[in-house]
Amino acid sequence: MRLWRSLAFIALVLLAVLTFVPFMFLLVNSVKSIPQFYRNFWSPTLPVHFENYREAWAEVRPYIVNSLYVTTLTFIGVISLSSITAFTIARYRFPGRDAIFTFIIAILMVPGILTLVPSFMLFKDLGLLNTYWVMIIAYVSGGQAFAIFVLRTAFAAIPSDLFDSAQIDGAADWQRFWYIGIPLAQPVIGAVAIVNVLGTWNSFIWPLVTVSDDRKSVITKGLFTFASQYGQRYGAMFAGYIIASLPLLICFLLATRLFIRGMTSGAIKL
C-alpha cells in the first residue's frame, strides 16, 4: 500500500508540474527583452523588464474595461432570467411544463457554431452590429439553457414543506423565491455564474464577426490584435496575456469555495 501510495503521489506531482509548466513559461518570458528571449528560452534572466507590463497594460486596458462591462451585464442577465424560469418550472405545475423543459434540454444538444450565421443575420437586421448589445443579448440568450437546466434541479431538490410553510405564513410567490429558493440554491447559482463568466470572458468567434469597431472590442479580440502587432515582442505579448487572465483568476479565487460546493453537491445540501 505504501508503494502504491508513493507511486500515486509521484504521478500526481508530475501531472501538476506538467500542468503549470506553460504558466511558468508565460510568466518567466513576460519579463524578458527580445535578446533575452532568444538566448535563454526556458530559464529566467536578469535584468527583469517590468516595463513589458506597463506597455501591455496601456494596450489591453480598454479591452479589459469592455470585457468587464459585457461580462457583468451578461452575468446579471443570465442569473436573473434563468433563476426565475428554473424556479417556475421546478415549483409550479402548468400545462406544457414538461414539454418546455424538454425543449430547453434539447437546445443543449445544438452546437453553438450552427447558429452563428442565423444569429449574425438577425442582429444585422436589428441594427445591433458594432454595439455592446450584440454581445450581451447573444450571451444572455445563449446561456439560458444550461443555467435553467442546472438551477431547475437545484430548486426541485428543496423540500416542498419549506415553501408550504412560508405560504401558510402569508409569503407571496416572489418572497418564497427570494427568501427560500435563492439562499438554498446559492452554491449552484455560484457555480453557474462562474461557468458563465468564464465562457463570456473567453468568447472569441462571436465578437470577432460582430464587432469591427476597435473601441468596443473585448479582451479576446483585443489580444488577437495585440499579438499581431507585437508578434516579435514576446515579452510585452506574454505580459498582455497574463494581465488579461488576472480578472478571471481573482474571480475564481474569491468564489472557489462556492464553486466547489455547487459542483460537488449536484443540487442542495440541507
Q: Answer yes or no: is 14 within a domain.
A: no
Q: Answer yes or no: is 220 within a domain.
A: yes
Mean pLDDT of 34-57: 85
Q: Answer yes or no: is 83 within a domain.
A: yes
Is pLDDT of 267 > 70?
no
Q: Answer yes or no: is 10 within a domain.
A: no
Q: What is the domain range of residue 97?
A: 49-265
Q: Answer yes or no: is 127 within a domain.
A: yes
CATH number of the domain that residue 181 is part of: 1.10.3720.10
Collapsing DSSP states into helix, strand and coil, what is residue 64? helix
Q: Which residue has the higher pLDDT, 117 or 225?
A: 117
Is pLDDT of 262 > 80?
no
Mean pLDDT of 95-123: 89
Number of domains in the chain: 1
Instruction: Tell me the angle at which helices 219-229 and 186-202 cross, rounded to the nearest 10 degrees.
Output: 30
> What confidence category does residue 235 fall into, taking pLDDT thresholds of 50, 70 and 90?
confident
Mean pLDDT of 41-69: 88
Is pLDDT of 164 > 90?
no
| Geometric angle at alpha carbon 264, from 260 and 183, rounded to 5° | 70
Full-model pTM: 0.84
Q: What is the DSSP letter of 75?
A: H
Predicted pLDDT of residue 264: 55
Cα–Cα distance measured from residue 78 to residue 143, given in angstroms and rounded to the nearest whole number? 6
DSSP 187-236: HHHHHHHHHHHHHHHH--HHHHHH---GGG--HHHHHHHHHHHSTT-HHH
Is pLDDT of 269 > 60?
no
Predicted pLDDT of residue 79: 93
Q: Answer yes or no: is 217 within a domain.
A: yes
Residues 207-239: b if buried by 16+ CB within 10 A, e if exposed: beebbeeeebbbbbbbbeebeeebeebbbbbbb
Q: Answer yes or no: is 7 within a domain.
A: no
Task: Report cis status (omega within 30 of 0) of the bond before 47.
Answer: yes
Q: Answer yes or no: is 9 within a domain.
A: no
Is pLDDT of 127 > 70?
yes
Cα–Cα distance measured from residue 195 to residue 178, given in angstroms and rounded to the nearest whole number? 22
Mean pLDDT of 35-52: 84
